[in-house]
Amino acid sequence: MLSAVSSKVSVSEPSDAARASTARRDDARARVERRDDDDDDARLRRCCWDAFVTLVDAFVDENARDIVVGHRNQSSRCAVRGEAGRGAGSPSPREGPALCPAADADAPSTRSLDFLTAVVRSRSSSRARRRGASSRMMRLASQQGSSLVTRMGMRRATTNTNRTMQGRARIPTTTTTTTTTTTNARRGLVVTASTPSRTNAGRRHGTPLVRVDAPTRGVYGKSVTASEDVETSNEGRDLSRLWLTNTMTRKKEIFTPRDPAGKKVQMYVCGVTVYDYSHIGHARVYVAFDVLYRQLMRLGYDVTYCRNFTDIDDKIIKRSNESGETCEALTDKFIEAFHEDMAALGCLRPTLEPRATECVDDIIAFIERLIAKGNAYETEGDVYFSVDTLPAYGALSGRNQEDNRAGERVAVDGRKKNPADFALWKTAKPGEPTWTSPWGEGRPGWHIECSAMIEKMLGPTIDIHGGGQDLVFPHHENELAQSSAACGCGAHADENPFVRYWVHNGFVKVDSEKMSKSLGNFFTIREVLDKYHPFVLRFMLLGAHYRAPINYTQRALEEASDRVYYLYQTVHDVRAILRDAAAEEPAKKPVPLVADALKLASEAEKQVSEALNDDMNTPGVIATLSAPLKSMNDFMTTKAGKKAVGRVGALQSLLSTVEGLMEAVGMPKDEENVILAELRARALHRAGLTEDDLLAKIEERNKARDAKDFAESDRLRDELSARGVGLMDGSAVPWRPVPVIDAT
């Protein structure tokens, strides 16, 4: 296996065109990495990612067990140990794609390590091997290991082999340890993996399979470790109440609203700048906060959710000049498009959706107060916020004033008192939309807009402020500075801070690269929804924890699509059975199958509510879906299930649990027929087939079967399957969408 991986890495000489394309990609990646260089969180992620690659690679080699990953740069050292265990349960082949880390290779610390654990377990379980689970999992791991190693440009060399003699002289045991070093020169990554020749040597039962230990400086300048950052222990935490990770304190905190009655909650999430269609990064932010909005309401809070539209901005003015449309027409068009996208994704409309241009008077009044208090100053028609007047400036992002000065060295504006001062009001340039202010004709800056709108719509202090991680600095830091200065409330959680809980979601990457227009890997929500159902995108986004970076790949969408189809098909089939079922006497003593199902149904409800309370752990919610769905299918397809006394009651309980679960994460529960039809239509669209094309193919295959030409019949079935259409022989439904597994 080891040599198979190595030979794939150095397979053949790339063509000049391929080399040029690789060089371009590397350049682009290097640019992104340089930008991220001062971002310790990004370094931690890269470190974990590298470690993960190595783990996959090492575990593909059946016997590797002691892996240490180190960086030449000692400040981000990362040590990983893998240890194989056995017999502790094994995943079914169906779970393979769901556990597959390709969906979030950038967040290896939780799901991917679970995946590796499952691979190791399945490999060492003879029962799983017999069921074929192991070979499927191994194949997945092997494919991913090879492609990831190739993508990372890793080079591998076996450096030494030690033979040691152990045991008593009469029966010596020979252990051959092969040490493999894998290096990546550009990243300065050095990995050593030891592979003892005896498969079972040193394997212990019940020990942790994989441990990641990566001490490094966190993004907020505080020392964190991977285990602290990805908190898994719920010990001592009351999960009947909501916990949120607060960016200000870098801790998971119990949520307590400001309202003395504990009832009202104010949440503000920064909205879009409406100059173009929204992209999948926007989908992620607003799906994440939609789940939070729903959860707050489930917990009985009276929530006011405010999300703004930035409808005055340089980009809008530029786009309007290019297209000849007025700014107003342009922004109206994209606000409508945004509402359509959000509705498609199942996001509830916020309570309030102010536009910046409707609040200019409030913005001007806000700036006047900051000038009067001495926190802002006017120069040649522009107004700046003076960061030196606020000693707490930098508290949210962890940046100190020196960092800010260093960052501003390039473009020093002589009119600013401090290079870090930022604009509150900008003098109008010719041809721009303008408003009259005490400082002349002009328009508001971006940061001040949110401070003024929050105060106008929700009051001077609020409970939750959300947005993407990229807004922490400068946008939210500056909002905090403006609002704290204006209301006199402190930056920290003393008695009455501007915001009690700062909540930020992670980035979306596309095929492991940062998504950006300049890299050309940019997808609008509309482009994705042309091929995949909106609830497939929603389901895929919910499959990663909101704080973790998410890796958007077509493969992840294929897998999410498969899961969503399975979910709605199961709900559809159970409802059909329940409609036809005669009323059933409750069994006095349910058979074990039914008793287990009833227990599962009630436990799943509790697990879901705890997962959502635990800092919106949506992957936990999605994982909880698996068992009730499997149980429902067992009652419909297995002999024992079909004839079990109490089956109808069990199906009813399981269905209502699954419905509750779907509701909790905003997946509609009552439109299974519509959604199944839409999923099938999109699968045909992806396959490039019409309904008639497909019927013709099925007819062609039936003819081949009638003529006993099974080779041709299999060829036709495989051809369709490779295009995402799975034929279902002997079923009432002739076909269903299947994932195109080779999708990257």
Would you list the DSSP string of 357-377? Answer: GGGHHHHHHHHHHHHHTTSEE
Q: How far is the CB of 64 from Zn ion (least distance, A)?
A: 48
**C-beta closer to Zn ion: residue 124 or 482:** 482
| Beta carbon nearer to Zn ion, 212 or 450 | 450
Binding site for Zn ion (CB under 5 A): 270, 450
Give the CA dihedral 632, 635, 637, 639, nearest 10 degrees.
Answer: 160
DSSP label of 12: S
* Residue in the block written with tokens 């027929």: 673
**Cβ distance 279 to 525 under 8 Å?**
yes
Report in angstroms how near the CB of residue 386 gets to Zn ion at its nearest. 20
Shortest Å, Cβ 432 to Zn ion: 21
Would you say 387 or 536 has its CB closer to Zn ion? 387
CB 278, min distance to Zn ion, A = 16
The structure tokens 């999109």 sit at: 682
Nearer to Zn ion, 450 or 740 (CB): 450
Handedness of CA 393, 504, 267, 246 (dihedral sign): negative
Closest separation in Å from C-beta 479 to Zn ion: 6
What angle, 0 to 180 degrees and rounded to 10, lies between the N-to-C axes of helices 280-298 and 534-542? 70
Q: Which C-beta is closer to Zn ion: that of 196 or that of 466? A: 466
Our CB check for Zn ion shows the closer of 268 and 535 to be: 268
Residue 83 or 470 with smaller CB distance to Zn ion? 470
Measure Cα distances from 283 to 271, 535, 565 in Å: 11, 11, 21
Q: Least Å distance between CB 343 and Zn ion?
A: 22
Q: In whole angstroms, how close is the CB of 289 to Zn ion at the nearest point?
A: 13
160/157 Cα distance (integer angstroms): 9
Q: Judge contact between 345 and 287, C-beta under 8 A.
A: yes
Identity of the residue numbered 348: L
Q: How far is the CB of 475 from Zn ion (least distance, A)?
A: 6
> Which parts of 469-587 are beta strand (E)?
499-505, 508-510, 513-514, 550-552
**Least distance (Å) between residue 381 CB and Zn ion:** 24
Q: Break the chain down into helix, strand, coil percent, rounded to 5.
A: 50, 15, 35
Measured from the CB atom, the residue of 467 and 534 that comes closer to Zn ion is: 467
User: Toward Zn ion, which CB reaches closer, 472 or 567?
Assistant: 472
Residues near 694 by Cβ (< 8 Å), separated by ≥ 6? 684, 720, 725, 735
Half-sphere exposure of 219 (CA within 13 A, CB side): 21
Strand-strand pairing, 376-379 and 382-385: antiparallel
